[in-house]
Amino acid sequence: MKVLATALLLAGLAWAQSSPQPASSSLPIDQENARQAKAVLDQMIQAVGGEAYLSVQDMSAEGRTYSFYHGRPNSYGVQFWRFYKYPDKDRYELTKQRDVLTIYNGEQGYEVTFKGVKSLEAKDLKDYQRRRDHSLDWVLRKWLKGPGMALFYEGQTVAEGKPVQQVTIMDARNEAVTLYVDTETHLPVKKSYSWRDATDQQRNVEDEVYDNYKLVQGIWTAHTVTRYYNGDMSNQRFMSTVTYNQNLSDSLFDPANATKRK
């Protein structure tokens, strides 16, 4: 009996040694997954505009914005002008008279009306900063260059009725953003992230959907952007014109110069 067992063991070892072994150059599963995710993101960045997109210094836009409450419109829409300077300067002018302004400069935010200048409420400023920190610009131009960044390819799915590839980007703080990339055009279709409210400890999900792309100065630019909060539409913007790299002055984002433009 011992002789038979020994013979079987030796035969098994011989078979194992003669069986083909995986190539030493093959990547572990997690590295291969990250490689797939990076390939999708690289393709998306090139589709958007490549270096032209990555080197954008400022953007000016004009259009109409609509706000919603629990998914239902609570306004007839307001004409707006936006001036944005990468990475953290933003200015919105509302109404035809352009006399209601919101200005963001670094970690500060201001509201300007005929009554004068006042600092934004803490909650309003924090909401904007959270959206800014998870914006497509920041994710693609800052997160991807940061230390401790991790990529996850999550396969193909459907978003906004389009076949997409799903990729999640996580930074060193374990903050994550999921991008849904059109399998045909390779343009971003949707961005999603979640955060926990410090007050009630509830997790909230914010989505942003991009549509109506047009080529502007070598950059494919979404002219319709829709935001969702926990599944309900919260804001929708329709841009009629967009221009890049107009050499916007820093003074434009100083509330003391609120009446000056460009």
The tens place of each residue's pLDDT in the chain, 262 residues long, gives 443 344 433 344 333 333 333 333 355 779 999 999 999 999 999 999 999 999 999 999 999 999 987 767 776 789 999 999 999 999 999 988 899 999 999 999 999 998 999 999 999 999 999 999 999 999 999 999 999 999 999 999 999 999 999 999 999 999 999 999 999 999 999 999 999 988 888 999 999 999 999 999 999 999 999 999 999 999 999 999 999 999 999 999 999 887 665 5
How high is the pLDDT of residue 9?
Answer: 37
Kindly state whether residue 152 falls inside one of the protein's structural domains: yes
Total domains present in the chain: 1
Q: Which two tokens stand for residue 15?
A: 């078979």
Q: Which two tokens stand for residue 248?
A: 């916007």
The CB density around residue 168, as the number of other CB atoms within 10 Å, is 16
Note whether 222 and 236 are within 8 A (CB).
no
Kindly state whether residue 194 falls inside one of the protein's structural domains: yes
pTM of the model: 0.86
Instruction: Please count the CA atoms within 13 angstroms of the CA of 224 that sit on its side-chain side.
Output: 5
Kindly state whether residue 233 falls inside one of the protein's structural domains: yes
Provide the residue range defining the domain that includes 231.
28-257
> Can you give the CATH number for the domain in which 48 is found?
2.50.20.10
pLDDT tens figures, 6-18: 443 334 433 333 3
Kindly state whether residue 18 falls inside one of the protein's structural domains: no
Kindly state whether residue 66 falls inside one of the protein's structural domains: yes
Kindly state whether residue 203 falls inside one of the protein's structural domains: yes
Residue type, 224: T
How high is the pLDDT of residue 260?
Answer: 63
Kindly state whether residue 15 falls inside one of the protein's structural domains: no
Kindly state whether residue 176 falls inside one of the protein's structural domains: yes
